[in-house]
Amino acid sequence: MENIIERIRIALTNSIDEKTRTTSQNFFREKIKSYGIKVPLVNKISKEYHKQIDLRTKAEVFELCEILWKSGFLEESFIACDWSYRLHRKYEPEDFQIFERWINDYVNNWASCDTLCNHTVGEFIEMYPEYLERLKIMARSDNRWTRRASAVSLIIPARKGKFLNEIFEIADILLQDKDDLVQKGYGWMLKAASESNQEAVFEYVVRNKAAMPRTALRYAIEKMPGDLKSKAMAKQ
């Protein structure tokens, strides 16, 4: 299996864009490892090489994902996220511990966090909603990325109007988090929920705005009409 990893890395190295390599760090505060490749091209490479592993077992694909995650390279993490999501029809409850470990052990930037959680973890939660309880535990983690993950894993379900009570419970846990990337994560979750439950999210924001950091508040109300935004932002 190492052979396909080697071929992927050659393809990535041959796709380096000097401008992207120079500017990619600008999008992150923390130091990242990056080849410097535009995301659409990474996605194309991921799709191309996935054809060569399509008949591998889920366990074998997860093992390849693990190797990609361990590299620490942003682009390899995107491929790992893509491959793990492509297996979503085969997800089983025990797979959650693998996804959670990837978050805890390997995720070290917002892009890898969101790519994994929006799709792989979010899809898993829709399939096995009993694992919403695990997200609440993750929201209390000392790891900033695990806390962000607890919120951004619910972005897509939130847009569908799902899990509103649990979304508010996770927002309650993260409400006064000091980390602005966590604030943005749960604010984004609330914004996504407002697409289907605007009134309920507005009421939640107004009820909690005295304690909610302005960063989270601004994210949460971003898609609301101007009059509701003004009410939410008004000083009490």
Question: What CATH number should be reported for the domain holding residue 186?
Answer: 1.25.10.90
pLDDT score recorded for residue 184: 98
pLDDT grade for 172, boundaries at 50, 70 and 90 = very high
pLDDT score recorded for residue 9: 97
Residue 227 has pLDDT above 80, yes or no: yes
pLDDT score recorded for residue 234: 87
pLDDT score recorded for residue 188: 98
Give yes or no: residues 178 and 198 share one domain. Answer: yes
26-35, 128-137, 159-168: the lowest-pLDDT one: 26-35
Give yes or no: residues 235 and 155 share one domain. Answer: yes
**How many structural domains does the chain have?**
2
Give yes or no: residues 213 and 107 share one domain. Answer: yes
* Residue given tokens 């989270």 in the structure block: 216
pLDDT score recorded for residue 54: 87
Of 72, 90, 108, which one is at a domain's C-terminal end? 90
Of 32, 57, 90, which one is at a domain's C-terminal end? 90
Give yes or no: residues 22 and 123 share one domain. Answer: no
Residue 236 has pLDDT above 70, yes or no: no
Residue 1 has pLDDT above 80, yes or no: no
- For the stretch 30-82, pLDDT in tens is 999 999 999 999 999 999 999 999 889 999 999 999 999 999 999 999 999 99
Give yes or no: residues 16 and 110 share one domain. Answer: no
Share of the chain above pLDDT 70, in %: 99
Which range of residues forms the domain containing residue 190? 93-236
Give yes or no: residues 183 and 214 share one domain. Answer: yes
User: Coil, strand, or helix at residue 47?
Assistant: helix
pLDDT grade for 235, boundaries at 50, 70 and 90 = confident
Amino acid symbol at 152: V
The mean predicted confidence, pLDDT, of the chain is: 96
Distance CA 8, CA 14 (A): 10
- For the stretch 143-161, pLDDT in tens is 999 999 999 999 999 999 9
Give yes or no: residues 64 and 1 share one domain. Answer: yes
Cβ pair 44, 80 in contact under 8 A: no
Give yes or no: residues 107 and 71 share one domain. Answer: no
Give yes or no: residues 86 and 126 share one domain. Answer: no
Dihedral sign from CA coordinates of 59, 64, 65, 66: positive
Give yes or no: residues 30 and 130 share one domain. Answer: no
Of 90, 118, 133, which one is at a domain's C-terminal end? 90
Helix (H) or strand (E) holding 188: helix 180-194
Give yes or no: residues 7 and 33 share one domain. Answer: yes
Give yes or no: residues 124 and 230 share one domain. Answer: yes
Share of the chain above pLDDT 90, in %: 94
Burial status of residue 201 (CB atoms within 10 A of its CB: 0-12, 13-18, 19 or more) = buried
pLDDT grade for 2, boundaries at 50, 70 and 90 = low
